[in-house]
Structure 1
Amino acid sequence: MSKTYSISELAKEFDITTRTIRFYEDKGMITPQRNGQTRIYSPADRTKLKLILRGKRLGFSLDESFAIIDMYNPKGNNAGQLHTLIDGIRERRLALQRQMKELQDMLQDLDDAEQRCREALPDADTAS
């Protein structure tokens, strides 16, 4: 029999709240078994949760993460899933590079504005 997990065990392991796990369950992203009111999570649920959180760290939306996770076929070739993931990573990287360039430009603009302000100050005030 394979190991099962409680909601509190998973929350502790991944340093998230039980509410977060229930949210993913409500979205249909993980589907624990029930024993009365108790949720029983399988190793597959644990793996999906891990992948959801990894996707979040990489900047994927929940829908993007779920679409990629849902493509997994344990009995087949997962090249399609991997290509989709690679494409998503490339898109995310390009977006972050654009944001980094915009931030660098903003920092340069701030430096330039500060320098112009300092140059416009009377000589007596530049000592402060």
Structure 2
Amino acid sequence: MTSGPTWTIAQIAEEFGVTHRTVRHYEDLGLISPERQGTRRIYHRRDRTRLGLILRGKRLGFPLEEIRTIVDLFDAPRGRRAQLEYVLGQIDERRADLEQRLRDAQDALRELDQFERRCRDDLEKLG
């Protein structure tokens, strides 16, 4: 296959702080495709890059189908440019969603604070 550095499943799992099962799961989904030598998986730079993109997408809260699109764009003819343009659009959507969730959480915390104050006041009145 490709020359250059290679990694075993143990090495790649350790590097990214995931289990072997997680790495195999992404392989089963077709998101990464290591070379096979018998039952051994050999990961190349492409697999390592794709796994990094997958895990970053997961940390940022992207659903797997969006991650698949982003990772697949990495291999597209326009490659990097198309990927970056797509990702920027997804970042805008994700940011808007997170900002709304933050506002909702802040509203809920304010409401809890008010409710707590009323409860404490009522408790104090009861003596």
Alignment TM-score, normalising by the size of structure 2: 0.90
Q: Does 1:41 align with 2:43?
A: yes
Query: Equivalents in 2 of 1:86, 1:119: separation in Å?
Result: 49
List per-residue Cα deviations over 1:69-116 (Å, max 9, x = no partner).
111247546333212101111111111111111111111111111111
Query: 1:64-103 to 2 correspondence within 5 Å?
Result: 64-73=66-75, 76=78, 78-103=80-105
SS at match of 2:7: coil
Q: After the TM superposition, which parts of structure 1 deviate over 3 Å for at least 4 consecutive aligned residues?
A: 73-78, 122-125
Tell which deviates more after alignment, 8-17 or 63-72.
Answer: 63-72
Alignment TM-score, normalising by the size of structure 1: 0.89
SS at match of 2:36: strand
Q: Is the Cα contact below 8 Å between 2:73 and 2:79 reproduced in 1?
A: no
Over the residues paired in the alignment, what is the CA RMSD in angstroms?
Answer: 1.7
Shift of 1:63: 1.1
Larger Rg: 1
Unaligned 5+ runs, structure 1: none
How many residue pairs align between the two structures?
A: 125
Shift of 1:123: 4.3
Match of 1:27 in 2: 29
Query: 1:102-117 to 2 correspondence within 5 Å?
Result: 102-117=104-119
Change (3 A) 1:77 1:71: closer
What one-letter code is carried by the residue in structure 1 that aligns with 2:83? Q
Shift of 1:58: 1.1
Unaligned 5+ runs, structure 2: none
